[in-house]
Amino acid sequence: MKALLEELGQTIPKSHDLEDLLALLLAHYAALSRCRRGLRFLTGFAVDPRYPLLRTTKRQAASALRWAAKVRNACRTLLGLRPPRRRRKTK
């Protein structure tokens, strides 16, 4: 998302709040509005898991990875980049 801001020539805020970044991008990339719910969910992972009493479940972690992939792919598409190659699973 910060790469999209850079491409627009906008100042890159020092923020972990993905909804704030989305707000800066929506005027230029309306398609990102589909990611709002996921970005709200992902923002919690920027800081919360660093604290010992705030635990993340395996289910939450898996959901976060799926949302991160969706957002990343949407941003890569807007930047004109190919989707990343799928990694082979090692045994």
The tens digit of pLDDT for each residue in 34-77 reads: 999 999 999 888 766 566 666 788 898 899 999 999 999 999 99
Count other C-beta atoms under 10 Å from residue 67's C-beta. Answer: 19
pLDDT-based confidence at residue 5 (cuts at 50, 70, 90)? very high
Containing domain of residue 15, as a range?
Answer: 2-78
| Number of compact structural domains in the chain | 1
Q: From residue 10, give the alpha-carbon distance in Å to each of 26, 48, 70.
A: 13, 28, 23
Is 44 a member of any domain?
A: yes
Contact indicator for 55, 23 with CB cutoff of 8 Å = no
Is 37 a member of any domain?
A: yes
Is 84 a member of any domain?
A: no
Is 8 a member of any domain?
A: yes
